Amino acid sequence: MRPLIFSAAIFAASVAAQAENTYTATATSDVEKARATAKTLSPTSNVKGKAFDRLAIIWLENTDYDMALGDPNLAWLAKRGVTLSNYHAVTHPSQPNYIASIGGDYFGMQHDDFTQVDKNVSTIIDLLEDKGISWGEYQEDMPYSGFEGIAYVNQKNGKNDYVRKHNPAVSYNANAGLIDRLAVTKNLTKFYEDLENETLPQWMFITPNMTSDGHDTDVSVSGTWTRTFLEPLLSDKRFMQNTLVIITFDENETYSIQNRILAILIGDAVPADLVGTTDDSYYNHYSEIATAEANWDLHTLGRFDVGANVFRFVAEKTGDTVRPWSADVPLADMFFNYSYAGPLNDEGGNKRYPAPNLVDAADLHNRTILPSIKEAWRGSSAPVYYTSGLATPDGQHPPEGYAPSE
């Protein structure tokens, strides 16, 4: 019996080690086969936050600030929430912005190609699980839970539908290498089942398909989709349980201007006296991580999440200070319109993964770096370019040693 158990254990370990490559096939027959056995999970939790108990993040595509606010349906939503008028994407094109939104950096990425971030790089998922906070992704038209393929087209008309580049969790092998993490990356059909069953997680990232999110269409389609999706939820007690919803865009459409985008905070966690107001504090995608960290007292990633501003109404409850932009380079000269170099940049330049900054930012807040991150990177000689400052670099103002190659 002994050798048998032994080899079974080795087999299980080797399967687990390859989970990030197990579900990448995109042929219809492969997808049908995998769908039949794909694991879906809906773990729940109820960890109280200081300003909200549930966070739902909805990302739409490629729309400039004024165009977004000009859309009647987004304007309808904005009137029922707080408009963030000084919220910036971090680079172009799409994928690095999604990568940044959970990992605290985009590691030089300047493309939308198939990417696997090394498994020693942590994301907000590790921070949430560390505190027992349930999470999930709802990706419209993802063909089955845990699908890792580059894309899956609409089987009736061949149009773009689900794309991996808009699914932040799966790009990180720390997530894609674990079956139980893949099992909570689900499609929107599962959202409605989880709503019905009252098994929605506390942190969720929602991506409409390539038609619904405006990528292959325009803001009138993404605005309509978003209002159609959210309006019934705004009065649904199964969804609104001290819930904060962030609606934003991955990037501004016009590359030659600043990468400012519209963001709206809405939901029953938004204080009534703030409904219909505008907050012009400086935010970027890293604020989405910092706000969750402050709310639930999470550890940090030691990357650009540490210095990012927490959304003001949350900061007021967590004791965080919302700072104005005050870097050497004025905000007006920061375009965030192309990427510095790094390990995910495929045009050359420095390919070395930067290490997290393991020094806690005690001057700023009392959050500390996740112990497992400290453990993994202690003694690393990799360069560190993260500080507790608010300013983040861009292609024109790269971190030292990470100038983009021309």
Angle subtended by helix axes 286-296 and 94-103, to nearest 10: 20
- Shortest Å distance, C-beta 376 to ligand NAG: 5
- Shortest Å distance, C-beta 213 to ligand NAG: 9
| Closer Cβ to ligand NAG, 270 or 308, answer by number | 308
Q: Is-cis flag, bond preceding 404, omega within 30?
A: no
Quote the CA–CA distance of 369 and 378 in Å, as a whole number: 12
- Shortest Å distance, C-beta 236 to ligand NAG: 15
DSSP assigned state of 91: S
Nearest to 64 by CA among 249, 279, 226: 249
**Contact between residue 82 and residue 278 where contact means Cβ atoms under 8 Å apart:** yes
- Shortest Å distance, C-beta 368 to ligand NAG: 11
Alpha carbon 17 to chain centroid distance? Answer: 24
Coil, helix or strand at residue 66: helix
Nearest to 102 by CA among 127, 139, 129: 127
**CA torsion sign, 205 to 161 to 171 to 307?**
negative
What are residue 152's phi and psi, to 5 degrees? -145, 120
Q: 359: how many CB neighbours lie within 10 A of its CB?
A: 13
**C-beta nearest to ligand NAG: residue:** 64
| Closer Cβ to ligand NAG, 54 or 215, answer by number | 215
Q: Which residues bind ligand NAG (CB under 6 A)?
A: 35, 38, 40, 64-66, 118, 120, 140-141, 143-145, 154, 159, 161, 187, 189-190, 193, 196-197, 209, 211-212, 225, 252, 254-258, 260, 319, 335, 337-338, 353, 365-366, 376-377, 380
- Shortest Å distance, C-beta 6 to ligand NAG: 28
| Closer Cβ to ligand NAG, 237 or 378, answer by number | 378
Active-site option among 213, 216, 250, 320: 216
- Shortest Å distance, C-beta 243 to ligand NAG: 20
| Closer Cβ to ligand NAG, 126 or 268, answer by number | 126
- Residue 216 catalytic? yes
**Contact between residue 123 and residue 175 where contact means Cβ atoms under 8 Å apart:** yes
Retrieve residue 392's tokens.
Answer: 């983040």
Quote the CA–CA distance of 191 and 204 in Å, as a whole number: 10
| Closer Cβ to ligand NAG, 134 or 187, answer by number | 187
- Shortest Å distance, C-beta 3 to ligand NAG: 33
Nearest to 91 by CA among 285, 325, 339, 257: 339
The CA-atom distances, in angstroms, between 161 and each of 137, 183, 211 are 16, 20, 7
Quote the CA–CA distance of 406 and 167 in Å, as a whole number: 29
Q: Which residues contact 258 (CB under 8 A, 6 or more apart)?
A: 88, 252, 332, 334, 335, 336, 337
Quote the CA–CA distance of 92 and 338 in Å, as a whole number: 6
- Shortest Å distance, C-beta 114 to ligand NAG: 17
Retrieve residue 88's tokens.
Answer: 């910036």
What is the helix (H) or strand (E) element at residue 403, kind and residue range? Answer: none
| Closer Cβ to ligand NAG, 61 or 161, answer by number | 161
Calculated CA dihedral for residues 81, 85, 89, 93, nearest 10 degrees = 90
| Closer Cβ to ligand NAG, 42 or 101, answer by number | 42
| Closer Cβ to ligand NAG, 168 or 354, answer by number | 354
Q: Which residues carry out catalysis?
A: 216
